[in-house]
Structure 1
Amino acid sequence: MHRKEKRCLRLGILGCGMICQAAHFEAALKARNVELYAICDVAEDLLDRMAGMYGSRKRYSSYEKMLEDKEIEAVLIGIGDQFHASCAVQALLAGKHVFVEKPMGVTVEECLEMERLVKETGLILQVGFMKRFDEGIQFSRRFIREEIGDVLTMKAWYCDGTSRYTLTDNVQPYIFTSPHSRKPADNPKENRENYYLLGHSSHLFDTVRYLLGDIISIEAKLVQKEEMYSWIILAELAAGTAGMLNLTIAVRRDWYEGFEVFGTRGSVIAKTFNPWLFQSTEAEAYSLERDEYFRPMAADGHFYRRQLEGFADVILKGVCQNGADAADGTAAMRAMKAVYDSVHQDGRKIYLKDVRGGL
Structure 2
Amino acid sequence: VRIGLVGCGKVALEHHLPSLRRLPAAEVVAVADHDADRRNDMARRFAVAGRYETADQLLADPDIEAVGVLTPTAGHFEIGMAALRAGKHVFIEKPLALSAAECEQLVRAGRDSSLKTMVCFNLRWHRSIVEARGILASGRLGSIIAVRSVYTHNRDGSDAPDWHRLLARGGGVTFNEGVHHLDLWRYLLGQEIEQVFAIHNPSPVYEDAVSVLTARLSGGVLATAINAFSTGPASELEIFGSGGRLLINLYRFDGVRFYAGNEYPGQIAVRLREISGALMRVPVALATSARRGLFGETFHRAWQGFLDSITEDSMSPCTFDDGRRAVLAALAAVRSLQTGAAVVVKEDGQEATYRP
Q: TM-score surpassing 0.5?
A: yes
Matches within 5 A, 1:312-323: 312-319=307-314, 321-322=316-317
Q: Tell whether 2:264 aligns with 1:282.
A: no
Q: Larger deviation: 156-165 or 108-117?
A: 156-165
Q: Tell whether 2:56 aligns with 1:75.
A: no
Structure 2 residue identity aligned to 1:282: G
Equivalence for 1:234:
214
In the alignment, is the contact (CA less than 8 A) between 2:33 and 2:55 conserved in 1? yes
- In the alignment, the residues of structure 2 paired with residue 12 and residue 195 of structure 1 have an alpha-carbon distance, to the nearest angstrom, of 26
Matches within 5 A, 1:86-97: 86-97=78-89
Structure 2 residue identity aligned to 1:206: D
Structure 2 residue identity aligned to 1:204: H
- In the alignment, the residues of structure 1 paired with residue 3 and residue 80 of structure 2 have an alpha-carbon distance, to the nearest angstrom, of 14
Equivalence for 1:217:
194
Shift of 1:316: 0.7
Q: Tell whether 2:325 aligns with 1:350.
A: no
Structure 1 residue identity aligned to 2:38: L
Shift of 1:12: 0.8
Structure 1 residue identity aligned to 2:166: N
In the alignment, is the contact (CA less than 8 A) between 1:218 and 1:350 conserved in 2? yes
Structure 2 counterpart of 1:146, from 135, 138, 141: 138
Equivalence for 1:44:
36
Equivalence for 2:300:
305
SS of 2:308's equivalent in the other structure is: helix
Matches within 5 A, 1:161-240: 161=154, 187-191=162-166, 195-196=171-172, 197-224=174-201, 226-227=203-204, 229-240=209-220
Shift of 1:82: 0.6
- In the alignment, the residues of structure 1 paired with residue 13 and residue 223 of structure 2 have an alpha-carbon distance, to the nearest angstrom, of 35
Gaps of 5+ in 1: 1-8, 170-182, 274-278
Q: Larger deviation: 156-165 or 19-28?
A: 156-165
Equivalence for 2:331:
337
Q: Larger deviation: 25-34 or 63-72?
A: 63-72
In structure 2, relative to structure 1, the CA distance for the partners of 1:270 and 1:12 (3 Å cut) is same
- In the alignment, the residues of structure 2 paired with residue 68 and residue 257 of structure 1 have an alpha-carbon distance, to the nearest angstrom, of 40
TM-score (norm 1): 0.80
Structure 2 residue identity aligned to 1:353: E
SS of 1:318's equivalent in the other structure is: coil
Equivalence for 1:243:
223
Structure 2 residue identity aligned to 1:245: A
TM-score (norm 2): 0.81
Shift of 1:226: 4.5
Superimposed CA distance per residue, residues 306-349 of structure 1 (whole angstroms, 9 cap, x where no aligned partner)? 11111101111235543x21101111110111112223332324
Shift of 1:265: 3.2
- In the alignment, the residues of structure 2 paired with residue 47 and residue 328 of structure 1 have an alpha-carbon distance, to the nearest angstrom, of 30
Equivalence for 1:177:
none
Superimposed CA distance per residue, residues 198-250 of structure 1 (whole angstroms, 9 cap, x where no aligned partner)? 32111121121111123332332323165473322221113221112222232
Equivalence for 1:267:
245
- In the alignment, the residues of structure 2 paired with residue 231 and residue 44 of structure 1 have an alpha-carbon distance, to the nearest angstrom, of 37
Superimposed CA distance per residue, residues 239-281 of structure 1 (whole angstroms, 9 cap, x where no aligned partner)? 2211122222323xx20220111223343101122xxxxx657
Number of aligned residue pairs: 321
Structure 2 residue identity aligned to 1:255: P
Superimposed CA distance per residue, residues 149-183 of structure 1 (whole angstroms, 9 cap, x where no aligned partner)? 22111111112235899xxx9xxxxxxxxxxxxx9
Superimposed CA distance per residue, residues 123-173 of structure 1 (whole angstroms, 9 cap, x where no aligned partner)? 2111121101101111112211222322111111112235899xxx9xxxx
Q: Larger deviation: 27-36 or 212-221?
A: 212-221
In structure 2, relative to structure 1, the CA distance for the partners of 1:355 and 1:320 (3 Å cut) is closer
In structure 2, relative to structure 1, the CA distance for the partners of 1:161 and 1:71 (3 Å cut) is same
Which of the pair has the greater relative contact order for Cα pairs under 8 Å at 6+ separation?
A: 1
In the alignment, is the contact (CA less than 8 A) between 1:159 and 1:250 conserved in 2? yes
- In the alignment, the residues of structure 2 paired with residue 304 and residue 237 of structure 1 have an alpha-carbon distance, to the nearest angstrom, of 28
- In the alignment, the residues of structure 2 paired with residue 40 and residue 226 of structure 1 have an alpha-carbon distance, to the nearest angstrom, of 33
- In the alignment, the residues of structure 1 paired with residue 203 and residue 324 of structure 2 have an alpha-carbon distance, to the nearest angstrom, of 32
Q: Tell whether 2:235 aligns with 1:257.
A: yes
Superimposed CA distance per residue, residues 80-100 of structure 1 (whole angstroms, 9 cap, x where no aligned partner)? 211011000000111111111
- In the alignment, the residues of structure 1 paired with residue 171 and residue 347 of structure 2 have an alpha-carbon distance, to the nearest angstrom, of 23
SS of 1:103's equivalent in the other structure is: coil
